[in-house]
Structure formats: structure tokens, C-alpha cells
Structure 1
Amino acid sequence: MFSPQKICKKDIFSFVFLAIVFYSFFLPSLSTSFIAINEPDWIERSARFIEAFLKGNFANTYQKYHPGVALMWIIGICVKLFGKEIFSVENFPQFAFSARLVLGTVFFLIVLLSFNRLRKAFSFGLMFFLVPFLLFSEPFVIAFVRSIGLDALLTAFIFASFCFFGAYLKSNKFMDVAGAGIFFGLALLTKVTALVLVPVFVLGILGVLGVRPSASWRMGLTPIKPLLMLFSISAVVFFLFFPAMWVGPLKTLKDIITLGAINAPLYDYASPIVSDGIAGSVFAQKFLSYSLVFAFRASPLLLAFFLLGIIAFFSKKLDKKLRFLGVLALVFLVCYYVPISFAGKKIFRYILPLFIPAGFLGYIGFCFAIEKIENKRWLLPIVIGVFSVRILYNISFAPNYLFYFNPLLGGRVSAQKFIKIDFETTGYNEAGKYLNDKGVGEEKIIVTYPPKSLGPFVNGRVEDIRTYPNADFLLVPLGKREEFKDKTTLCYALEKTFSYRGLEYLFLYENICK
């Protein structure tokens, strides 16, 4: 057996190793480009949020129905500390690096600390560190952790609330239910999508009472007490950190529920995330689209362990602790997947929280596979070799992680047959650099979508391609090429194609009629 001192040293070594892995993926070219299409919008909202708060205009801290408050606190403070014009060619790289570094570090610490609490509660060994390792080395996850947007922060808060709730079911300690409530409140402050955790909490409590009736005395005889504590704490957090709630709680809640929880997912339009052939089937569009996107966006190792974990869950010989963890992961998987599948609005980055149950089930699958191997003599070097290859291959896509597609399924060539290839605004900085080197100045007009994603990288004037009729240059991303096809045929000639690993993703047209 290991002494506490040795265990502590191994824990520290594991934390340091995970930090090295995470920041090796996270840091390359952090200041050079946008990732998410709405990143500039959230920077502007954050600036308005912090300005309204400092002036005591609390009602105006409500900026969007998401509501995005947790993100706006973090980025708003960064904006205020930066103290200079953000969206300029000179200043933006400095701001982008510092703000993203803060946001990424918040993600890293939340995931690591909450995961470690779950590990301690269940007395899992060091091998349990596979869960954050899988998350921190997934290209799709890292792509959006590097972005100033809601989805990665939401994933971190959901992950933390899930971990503390799982720890509570094992320990029955107030600190765990409080942790679950705090992070659930922060998740709701980020995006109302976090409401998917409510059935997870309810089913988790009822499940423990059903499987272990003797646990009822520890939980206050009924499931009401822990749920009441959890939801009360989350409500307090939501109220305290949302200034708009201080002056107009009913109106703020009404707008968030009506616009964010009902209207946006059901009625907002978003481009299809699967190919046209598959989109023809209503069933496939509703229930298989996110599965296809996840399969092609996840790495082979995660996908393989995830599927093996689902198989292992039904094995009679599976360890009780692993089965308990598997139940929680599967409940979350269903509670999250079904609502986003039913919603009319589908965006490919919404699969990000699915990497949480995939990570836990991946750990179960890994343990199951190890247990089945009789001769373990060469196991350690094989595992080290496989994971080293995974790290080196995945990190080779830095900083353009959205160009990663599961090589086990045929990579990009196969992916484009099933899903829509979307890189959001990756690489707009390359187009800006090209135009600047070409000598484009303020007198030239460039139109693109969205214009704010190109503005900080180019000296010319940038306008919206959807509304501006005539320009000197037209920049079209791959995902919008079909939509704006008519605009590129009138007076425009292809000037430059931007590609990465043989994949064309941006098309620059020059006006030849001017």
C-alpha cells in the first residue's frame, strides 16, 4: 500500500502532467484568430455588461437571453483591466491572448478540482485521471476552450456540478451538495441549457434511495431535503451574480425562460449540421445528427473507449463503483441528448457537453479492457505508446483544431459525406494578413460574414456581406459558400484560396468591375 505522502506526490505529478497536456494544446497561436462565430459579440456584450454594472445601471446587465452572465463577468473584467480599444489590428492580439488565457485557466481549474473531488469520494485510483486527460487532449474540446464563448464554460460548470453531485450521492456531505448547487447556479448563469441537470439530480437521488433504501435516513427520509438544498443554493448564486435580478427579477426570468429556454431552441434558425441526403429523413435529422457530428469530431481513442464503456456497463462482472458512475453518465447522456435533438435549432458546437459522459464511460471502457487482458507484462509500454501517439497526432492540428476529423472513420473525406463541414471563423487572421501584405488600406471595403471576425486583423473597412451591395473584396467561408454563391458570380473573380492540410476553408474574391 502507498503512504499518504506517496499518494500526495503522485497526485501532484498527475496534476502537473495534466497541466502540461492542457496548456500544450491550449497555448499555440492563442492570440491570432477567432474560433466561434459569435466571439466578437460576446466581447462587446461583456464590455457593456461591466460598464452597466460599474455605473449602477443593473437592468442593462441583461444582455442576452442565454444569459451569458458568468462569461461576461470574466471577460468584462478583462476588458476593463485592458483599458484600450480592443478591436484594432494593434491591440486585439494582446487582449485575445490575455482574455483567453484567463478563460482557459478557469476551465482547467474547475474541471480538475471538481473531478478530483469525485475521485476522492469514490476512492478511485490514479487511473481515474484518464477522464480529464481525455477531455484536455480532445481537439474539438480544446478548439472551443480557446474561444471566448459560452459552450466551453458551460461544459466546465456542468462537469463540476455533475462531479460534486456524484460525490454527494456517495458521501452525503453538505460540502458536496453545496458544490453541486453553486456550479449549477453558475451553469444557469452561463446558459439555460444547464436545466438538463434537473432530471439528472432528481433521478440520481431517487435512484440511490431505490437501490439503497437504507440511505433514506441519511438523506432526510425523502429526496426533498437534498434537492431543496441544491436548488436553493443554485438560486442564491443565480440571484447574487446577476445584477439584473436585483432590480427586475420577474421580468428577467420571464425573458430568459421565454426567449432562451423556449423560443430560441424551438424557433431560431440554424444551418443544418448534417449533409443534405441525411437531412431528408426527419428521424435522422432529429435523433442522429448530433450522433454523427460527435462520431466524426471525437478522437478514435475516446470514441472506442466510450462505446466499450457502454458495452461494459451491461457486464455482470463490472465493479459496483464503475456501474454507479456509468448510471450517472448514461442518465446525463440521455437527459442532455434528447432535448438538443428535439430542438429545432441545431449548431454543431452544442455537442461539447457530450464529451463529459463520453469521458466517464471511456474510463469505464478502459478499465474493462485492462481487466480482460491476462498477460499485462507489456501493458504499460503499450498504453504509454498509444497515448503518446494520440497526443502527438492531435496536437499536430494546432491551432486549427476544428480541422480535426476522426481518422478511424475516414477523416474529412468521409465526414463531408455525412455532416456539414463547419470551421466557424477559424483562419480569418490569415485572410487579414494577406490583405494587409497586399497593401489594402482603409479606403478599401471588404465584405464577409460575420464582419466583426475579420475587422481586428485587416486595415481595410469591413462590412456585412448580407447587406452591403458593392465592395472591393469579398471573403466567403466554406460553410457559407453555397449561401452566398450568387454574390460571387457578379463582378468578382477568385483572388485567393486559403487552405489547411489540403482543405480549402476561405475564399477571397476581388471586384473586377470597379
Structure 2
Amino acid sequence: MKRRASIPYRAIPVLLFLTALIPRLLRPVSRPLVWYLRSAHFIDAVLAGDWANTVYSEHPGVGLMWPVGIGLKVYWTLSGISPAAYTVPPDFEPIHFFGPVPLAEISAGIAPLALLISLGIVVAWWMLLRLFDQPTATAAGFLLALSPYYLTQSKVLHLDAWMATLMLLSALALLLYRRERRRRWLLLSGALGGLATLVKTPAIFLLPFAGLVLLVDLLQRAIREPQSLTRSAIRDLLLPLAIWLATAALVYVALFPTLWVDPQKGLGAVMWGITHHASTAHDTPTYFLGQVLKEDPGPVFYAVALLFRTGEVELTFLAVAVATGALWWIRHRRIPPKGIDLLLLVAYAFFFLAQMSLGAKKMPRYVLPSILALDVLAAAAIVAWARSLAGDHRRWAAALMALPLLVQAGLVLPRHPYYGTGLNWIAGGPTAAARAILIGEEGEGLADLAAYLNERPDAEHLTVAAQLKHVFNQTFRGTTVDIDEPADYLVFHRNYTVRDYKVEQWGGLWERYAPRTPEQEVAFDGVPYAWLYPALPSDVPPEHSAQVHLGTGFRFLGYDLRSTEVAPGDRVPFVLYWQATEPVTADLSIFVHLLAPSGDLVWQDDGAAAHGTRPTWSWPVGETVADPHTIALPADLPEGEYLLTTGLYDWQTGERLPAFGSDGARLAEDRIEVARLTVHHPRTHPAAWIARGLAGLVLASALFATWRER
């Protein structure tokens, strides 16, 4: 008689579904509006029978636009609103669409995506239950539900999280086909693969992965049952691969309306995307290892991104899996059947990253499919670790299995809704990640600044100039304009400032405002993400005042500089303030020098004020002249105390104007000592050492337990 499932067992998929769904559904953080607009026009074109005009991207994104478009259409119908998408025509370039789109409308698009991804995680749990066992499936399910970067991308109207989910399910179905030899798994894998490729073309990786899985199965069978290799290759490799490909192609065509009436148009767009992205880097700059890059960041990009974007629990138990797996091999010289499935998932993760590394276009979110596969490996390591430590004590084993999952939840869930701010402490944490990769991809923190302003009684009458204005205006009650337009407040975000994105639009403003103390700053783990500044009047005084007279007609009023603690490679903005005390006809230059402890010149910026736009002869008497500068510290700058100095001189003779302090005494070398910058190499955060210590203990305990087993 078949044993009935226990209540706790039945509760697992429900609890898993809710754990995955709730954080994905509540407070979406959607930076891109591209797929909102595309999905809105896609579903309208489908319903109007205009199938030829349902190709909106080379990706092609159709697998995303179906559920998102349906979600939006249902919301529009029920709410009776006029969609924000209808403010522009269907052929409007979506990358230039900045809304405003109300957050409720964004949520309506994300809701079906969150629902499908959460269901996908439950289906993955069920597949893993068949592949491995209940503890491994449960651990993997909750690691997937709480994976910080997966969570982050699942809350965004974009392609990668949904593609990664479908790819994982397709890969697991392939492994089940290898294990059970039931054609339904092969058909399911092909269908999921076709749908994943319909979301985004890199999912075509599943085709060679299917070939690898089938080839491994063929070789295993050949070793166990020697027979005609040609016949086996046709029956066990070529025929299943053809069935997989045919199923994928059928789903691809069945759900891509453009292919029904104009296949050349649809496939032409996809093929253009493949060739273009393989040879052309992203058209926006990225930040990698301290440099702003407009070209391919190189083959190590994804390794570094993966290191910071996996969770601490996942990375720890991946190390456990590698170490204990090596010990098992040394001792037994064989691989168990479940071990082959795990190795195939490792190959899936590795070769997908290898495929993505071949293209010039690279973004951190492209590591997501590999993270999901590695989560399964980490879950298997958690179960093996708990069992080896607990021995025959089942309750102890269950408690040990639950412990890493509770740690994962404790590290991730308090970050709601900004899960993307979680960056692996074992790798160095957020401060190290901020120097290595682009973080703040989704505009994290902007909603907090909007909420701060919304508390003001006059919020609806305020105008804010913002970077990522299409994110800020989702929740701000007032008016949001471009960053270079007149406004009451300015909002900056590291997504732009760190990588110089559209720097020609805001670079001068940032150099002017960044040295000052913002009215509000949003930071996570000590890393600032977003800044709010009131608009500066022309006569604003310096934050650090001084009274230095130069010659008979000039005064140095002070400077703005937020911090004197800096690191090699930093860009340090500051502003000097000058004033003419009598009419000026002379054309003098300002010198700004950074001196090493030895007195040697490290950096200089000489010339007229405000980057050459305000020569001294243009200074009216009494006007405060703001003179912004940015020091680019060399990456190899030694530690020490560096002196920032300034003054005026005649550029024709090189003679400096006499400089006198507030006490009337003449300053040495006629130079003003503005500030002393203390240069330190970045220090490892204590939390990183704690995380590494705990990970080391877990790894040591796993090695010890594995070694003592006989």
C-alpha cells in the first residue's frame, strides 16, 4: 500500500511557493521601462491581429511579453485607467521612454512574472525530488527562493530571471530523461528550451547542453552494455537530440506571432542580435575593477561578478562540494549516479559562462543561469555536510540542514526590497564589490529619497531633477525632470556617477554638488547609492570657510570637500571658492597641487576657474566664483598624508600672488593649504573576516567528517 504524504511534506511546496512569491511581489524595484512599453504594445498588436508587428527586439523577448502584456491588459481593464504606454506610439524607441509610469502599473506587469518564477521554483523542487531526495530538493528550493541576485532580477521587468528559470527547468528535465528514459521529459525539456530561447537568445545554449547530457548517457551505456556504437549513437544521441530540437522549434514558432506571417522579419531581427552582440560591447559604459570601460571588460568579468553575486551560504557550500567531492574521488575512484547529475549541472554553469564570455556585450546579470545551477550543487553539499556531521541522528541532521537556510533568510530578507545590495561578504562584501563591479543596477534607494520628499506638505509642487528619473517618478508625488533641467532638488545615483553614463549631461553638476553634504543620502552597508541635494543658489557659501587674501584684489573664501579619507584610485571632487575685492583686468591662473609627504607633485590642475570658463578678468567685484575640480588618484599611490594646495599666479611670468592668512601673516611659498588627504589602501570590513572565518569552519568540519568516514 502506498504511504500517504505527511502534512509537513505536503506543506513544503506551499511554503516554498510563498517564500519565493512574497518578496518578489511586494514593492518591485523596476529600473527598466523598456519591457513595460514593449509588452504593452505587443499585447495590443496580438489582440488586433497585427502579428507582423509583434517583433520589438532582437532578443526577442516574446516569452516575456506574453505574460507581462496579459498582466498589464487585465490591470488596465479592471482599473479603467489610461495606460502610460499609450502616451507614445508603438514605433517609439523604448529606450527613450521615461514615463512616468505609476508603481501600481509596474506592479501589474511584474505580478505575472513573479507568479511564474515562483511556480518555476516549486516545479524545480519537484524535479529535484525525483532526481535526488527530499532534503536536497528542499534545500535547493529554498536556496533558489532566497538567492539574493535571483530575487533582485525577479523584481524587475526584464528578461534574465525568467529566462534563467526556464533554462534551469529545461536542464533538470534533461537530467530526468537521462535517468528515467521517459520521452515526456525530453519533450518537456525541449518545450521549456524553446520558451527560454523565445525570452532571450542565449538560452540556445540548452541545445549543446542537451547534446552533452545525451553523450554522457551514451558513453555510460556503452561501458555497461557494449554494442554497435553507430546504432547506439543514432538511437540514444541523434534521435533524442532531433526530438528535443523539433519540440523547441515548434514552441518557438507557435508563440512568436511574427513568424506566423513574416518569418524573415522575425528571424532576421534575432540573427542581427546574435551577430551584433557577439562583436559589439554594450552601448553604455560599465565599471570593472576600478575602471570605466566602453569596450569588452575581458574574460574574468563573469568570474568576478559571480563571486560577489552568489550568496555567502551558496559560496561556502560550493567550496564544501568541491573539497568533499575531491576527497570522495581520491578515496573511491568512482562517481555515483547522482554525482554525475551534479557534475552535469556544474558543466551547465561553467559552459554557459564560457558562452557568454565569447560575446563582447557583458553585464553582471548575465551570470544568473549559472547561479541557479550552482544553487543545486550547494544544496546537495548542505545535505551531505549535515548527514556526515550528524551520523545516525536524524533530528540533528535535519537541524543542521535547516541552519544554512535560516542563515540565508536572515542575510537576505532584511534587505527587502533592495536585495541587490546584498554582496558576498566572503568575497569582501559591498565595499569591495563597489570597487570591482557595477552595483546599484536597479536604482536602489531612489524610492527612499522620493518617500522623504513626499512627507513634505508641498511635495506635489516640488520639481526634482533626477538621474534615472523614470525610477524616481514612479513614487514621487511632484514633478520629475532631467538632471540638467532647473529644479528645486537634484537626485544623483551611483548607477550613473560611477560609470560616467551620460556624463556630458550631469558631469559638471556632480562635480559641483558631490563635495557638499547632501540633505539626504541612502547607503547600504556603508556604500552610498543615492544622494539628494537642494538646488544651490549662485552665492552659496563654502562648507569649509577660510579668509585668505591674495595680492590686493582677491580672496579665497574656502572649499567644499566631503571626506579627507581616500584610497588609491579614487576620484575626489572638491570645489574652491574665490572672490574679487576690486575690479580686475589681469588674466591670472589658479594652481591646484596635490603634494606627496615628500613634497613631490602628485597631481595638478592649473588654469582659469571652472575649467577655464571663468578667467579672473571676468570676475565681478563681490561675486562668489565656484571652481570645481576632481582629483584622479593613481591606483598605485602609496599610503600617507597628502597636502592639497592652491593659489593664484601670473601664467606669463610664473610669479605667485602674495597670500596672507586671516592673521595677516604671509603664507609660505604663497600657497594656501586647503586640506590634508589621508590615503589608505581599502581595509577589509570586519564582517568579511567573520564571514570568511565561519565559512572556513564549515569547510573544515566538512573535510573532517568526510575524512573520518569509512
TM-score per shorter chain, which class? 0.7 to 0.9
Distance (Å, rounded) in 2 between the aligned partners of 1:161 and 1:396 = 32
Q: Secondary structure at the match of 2:306?
A: helix
Distance (Å, rounded) in 2 between the aligned partners of 1:404 and 1:375 = 34
| Cα separation, partners in 2 of 1:278 and 1:210, compared to 1, 3 Å | farther
1:298 is matched with 310
Q: CA deviation at 1:90?
A: 11
Amino acid at match of 1:47: A
Distance (Å, rounded) in 2 between the aligned partners of 1:442 and 1:20 = 37
Amino acid at match of 2:271: I
Distance (Å, rounded) in 2 between the aligned partners of 1:87 and 1:55 = 19
Of 353-362 and 68-77, deviating more is 353-362
**Residues 183 and 234 in structure 1, CA contact (< 8 A), matched pair in contact too:** yes
**Residues 219 and 226 in structure 1, CA contact (< 8 A), matched pair in contact too:** no
| Cα separation, partners in 2 of 1:346 and 1:464, compared to 1, 3 Å | farther
1:172 is matched with 181
Q: CA deviation at 1:111?
A: 2.8
- Asked which structure has the greater CA Rg, the reply is 2
Structure 2 stretches lacking a partner, 5+ long: 86-98, 501-505, 539-710
Distance (Å, rounded) in 2 between the aligned partners of 1:187 and 1:447 = 39
Distance (Å, rounded) in 1 between the aligned partners of 2:177 and 2:513 = 65
| Cα separation, partners in 2 of 1:428 and 1:368, compared to 1, 3 Å | same
Amino acid at match of 2:14: V
1:411 is matched with 429
**Residues 309 and 362 in structure 1, CA contact (< 8 A), matched pair in contact too:** yes
**Residues 128 and 136 in structure 2, CA contact (< 8 A), matched pair in contact too:** no
Q: Secondary structure at the match of 2:57?
A: coil
| Cα separation, partners in 2 of 1:491 and 1:411, compared to 1, 3 Å | closer
Query: Is 1:450 aligned with 2:468?
Result: yes
Q: CA deviation at 1:81?
A: 1.1
**Residues 21 and 118 in structure 2, CA contact (< 8 A), matched pair in contact too:** no
Distance (Å, rounded) in 1 between the aligned partners of 2:513 and 2:432 = 35
Q: CA deviation at 1:102?
A: 2.3
Query: Is 1:103 aligned with 2:113?
Result: yes
Identity %: 21
The one-character-per-residue Cα deviations of 1:323-371 (angstroms, maximum 9, x if unpaired) are 2112311221222111222322221221211112211221332344345
Amino acid at match of 2:452: Y
Query: Is 1:34 aligned with 2:29?
Result: yes
Distance (Å, rounded) in 2 between the aligned partners of 1:405 and 1:511 = 33
**Residues 43 and 70 in structure 2, CA contact (< 8 A), matched pair in contact too:** yes
Number of residues paired by the alignment?
Answer: 501
Query: Is 1:150 aligned with 2:159?
Result: yes
Q: CA deviation at 1:193?
A: 1.1
1:18 is matched with 16
1:485 is matched with 507
Distance (Å, rounded) in 1 between the aligned partners of 2:323 and 2:134 = 22
From 336, 339, 347, give the equivalent of 1:323: 339
Distance (Å, rounded) in 1 between the aligned partners of 2:100 and 2:35 = 20
TM-score by length of 2: 0.65
1:195 is matched with 204
Q: CA deviation at 1:222?
A: 4.9
Q: Give the number of the structure whose residues are more often helix, by fraction.
A: 1
Of 309-318 and 140-149, deviating more is 309-318
Distance (Å, rounded) in 2 between the aligned partners of 1:123 and 1:500 = 38
From 494, 511, 514, give the equivalent of 2:535: 511
The one-character-per-residue Cα deviations of 1:224-261 (angstroms, maximum 9, x if unpaired) are 211111111111111111111112112211211212x2
The one-character-per-residue Cα deviations of 1:63-111 (angstroms, maximum 9, x if unpaired) are 1111111111111111111112455999834334443332112111123
Q: Secondary structure at the match of 2:411?
A: helix
**Residues 111 and 159 in structure 1, CA contact (< 8 A), matched pair in contact too:** no
**Residues 491 and 511 in structure 1, CA contact (< 8 A), matched pair in contact too:** no
Q: CA deviation at 1:136?
A: 0.7
Q: Give the number of the structure whose residues are more often strand, by fraction.
A: 2
**Residues 278 and 418 in structure 1, CA contact (< 8 A), matched pair in contact too:** no
Distance (Å, rounded) in 2 between the aligned partners of 1:381 and 1:360 = 19
Q: CA deviation at 1:127?
A: 3.1
Amino acid at match of 1:400: Y
Q: Secondary structure at the match of 1:399?
A: coil
Of 314-323 and 331-340, deviating more is 314-323
Q: CA deviation at 1:458?
A: 2.3
Query: Is 1:498 aligned with 2:522?
Result: yes
1:287 is matched with 299
Distance (Å, rounded) in 2 between the aligned partners of 1:384 and 1:457 = 38
Amino acid at match of 1:510: P
Q: CA deviation at 1:156?
A: 0.9
Of 95-104 and 55-64, deviating more is 95-104
Query: Is 1:428 aligned with 2:446?
Result: yes
Amino acid at match of 1:263: H
Query: Is 1:397 aligned with 2:415?
Result: yes
The one-character-per-residue Cα deviations of 1:178-217 (angstroms, maximum 9, x if unpaired) are 1011111110110001011121111111121112124987
| Cα separation, partners in 2 of 1:382 and 1:129, compared to 1, 3 Å | closer
| Cα separation, partners in 2 of 1:53 and 1:62, compared to 1, 3 Å | same
| Cα separation, partners in 2 of 1:507 and 1:383, compared to 1, 3 Å | same
| Cα separation, partners in 2 of 1:164 and 1:294, compared to 1, 3 Å | same
**Residues 110 and 157 in structure 1, CA contact (< 8 A), matched pair in contact too:** yes
Q: CA deviation at 1:501?
A: 4.7
Q: Secondary structure at the match of 1:512?
A: coil
Equivalence map 1:261-280=2 (5 Å):
261-267=274-280, 268-276=282-290
Q: CA deviation at 1:154?
A: 0.6
Q: CA deviation at 1:141?
A: 1.2
From 362, 377, 380, give the equivalent of 2:378: 362
Distance (Å, rounded) in 2 between the aligned partners of 1:110 and 1:281 = 35
Distance (Å, rounded) in 2 between the aligned partners of 1:101 and 1:287 = 36
The one-character-per-residue Cα deviations of 1:274-311 (angstroms, maximum 9, x if unpaired) are 322698999xx423222222222222211111222234
Q: Secondary structure at the match of 2:235?
A: coil
Distance (Å, rounded) in 2 between the aligned partners of 1:280 and 1:443 = 39
Amino acid at match of 1:431: L
Distance (Å, rounded) in 2 between the aligned partners of 1:375 and 1:368 = 10
From 33, 37, 42, give the equivalent of 1:44: 37
**Residues 29 and 417 in structure 2, CA contact (< 8 A), matched pair in contact too:** no
**Residues 274 and 293 in structure 1, CA contact (< 8 A), matched pair in contact too:** no
Distance (Å, rounded) in 2 between the aligned partners of 1:44 and 1:90 = 12
Structure 1 stretches lacking a partner, 5+ long: none
**Residues 446 and 463 in structure 1, CA contact (< 8 A), matched pair in contact too:** yes
**Residues 308 and 429 in structure 2, CA contact (< 8 A), matched pair in contact too:** yes
1:112 is matched with 122
Of 430-439 and 295-304, deviating more is 430-439
**Residues 115 and 163 in structure 1, CA contact (< 8 A), matched pair in contact too:** no
Query: Is 1:243 aligned with 2:252?
Result: no
Q: CA deviation at 1:169?
A: 1.2
Q: Secondary structure at the match of 1:476?
A: strand
Q: CA deviation at 1:449?
A: 3.3
Distance (Å, rounded) in 2 between the aligned partners of 1:476 and 1:277 = 20
**Residues 17 and 119 in structure 2, CA contact (< 8 A), matched pair in contact too:** no
**Residues 312 and 364 in structure 1, CA contact (< 8 A), matched pair in contact too:** no
Distance (Å, rounded) in 1 between the aligned partners of 2:403 and 2:213 = 38
Query: Is 1:56 aligned with 2:49?
Result: yes
Distance (Å, rounded) in 2 between the aligned partners of 1:273 and 1:342 = 19
Q: CA deviation at 1:441?
A: 6.3
Q: Let me know the Cα RMSD of the aligned residues.
A: 3.1
**Residues 273 and 419 in structure 1, CA contact (< 8 A), matched pair in contact too:** yes
From 230, 243, 248, give the equivalent of 2:244: 230
Distance (Å, rounded) in 1 between the aligned partners of 2:476 and 2:84 = 10
Q: CA deviation at 1:263?
A: 0.9
**Residues 275 and 416 in structure 1, CA contact (< 8 A), matched pair in contact too:** no
2:60 is matched with 67
Amino acid at match of 1:295: L
| Cα separation, partners in 2 of 1:49 and 1:151, compared to 1, 3 Å | same
